[in-house]
Amino acid sequence: MEEKIKELRAAIEQASADVTDKARLSDFWQKYLSKNGEVAGLTKSLRDVPKEDRPAVGKTINEFKQWAEAQYQALSEQVEKAALEARNAAETVDITMPAKIRQTGSLHPITLVKNEIIDVFAGMGFEIYEGPEIEDDDHNFTRLNVPKNHPARDMQDTFYVADDIVLRTQTSGGQIRVMDMEKPPIKVLAPGRVFRSDSDATHSPMFHQMEGLVVDKGITLCDLQGMLDKFVQALFGADVKTRLRPSYFPFTEPSVEVDVSCFECGGKGCPLCKHTGWIEVLGAGVVHHSVLENCGIDPNVYSGFAFGIGIERIAMLKYGINNIGLMFENDLRFLKQFED
């Protein structure tokens, strides 16, 4: 038995030198210390030892087994340490190297202006509603009092998805949906993308609008101008004034074009205002009684005003942008000018 233990000790010592990873450590355990391993085989061979010698031989086998398990424990710690060192080496960061520069983004000028407009009107108690971009004819035209023969319905101006389904030409359809869902008093902004078949330096087939609606008892055109005064002063400066000019929109009566006194020259006349002292910024008016009736609101009890702002136009005026296409080309040289 002593000879077997001596040979097995030598074999274990030799095998220990080859254990360098977890796979070989597992093989070592299976071969020598598992239930069917060679060390366990020594215990089984006790049956061949005379009874009087078994206690002494058993003690020797147990001592050897403890030595073999200690060898395994030492190997296990050695393998764990080597694995940790390899992992640390792979994850080493050279703090002397220049850091990777990750460019931070910034908000698009359209988003900047949109947020600024929303902040102004939210301070006046307006809620925000974003309607669908694909709209039906009923919400986009009919209930807004746009007649069947109106030029806006022509294929040249409107993108038709089907006979009575369009890419919305204005966000006014959202105002109709709000009036269907809510009863006056109503104060709502309807921002979003709109689509028209138009493209040049100041127009784009896709652009952004911000339309507003107020419906309550006793609402007049004076309320509209007072609100717009506060709006343009917040956007362009405290000295800016508004001017209303008669116009026509099917969904408002009376309708007006809204100008602001030129914030560049103070109304004296310059290239920005084409030497008139005024800049057109939006269209508005008193909500047509037919539009109220179409939404189940009694025009004899309630009145309202509505307005529509082109967000790109405001951005172009505010930041001195001379071509609307620049805002859709994703040119970083252009966009970096609006970083905080």
Binding annotation: 253
Distance between CA atoms of residues 332 and 329, nearest Å:
9
- Nearest by Cα to 169 from 188, 146, 200: 146
Indicate the annotated binding residues for Mg(2+). Answer: 253
Q: Show the tokens assigned to 264.
A: 């560049």
Side chain identity, residue 186: I
Distance between CA atoms of residues 130 and 273, nearest Å:
32
- Nearest by Cα to 56 from 37, 38, 64, 33: 64
Which residue pairs from 143-146 have beta carbons closer than 8 angstroms and sit at least 24 positions apart in sequence? 143/176, 143/291, 143/294, 143/295, 144/172, 144/173, 144/176, 144/250, 144/251, 144/291, 145/250, 145/251, 145/288, 145/290, 145/291, 145/294, 146/250, 146/251
Provide the pairing of β-strand 127-128 with 186-195. parallel
Q: How many CB atoms lie within 10 A of CB 312?
A: 22
Q: Show the tokens assigned to 222.
A: 């004076």
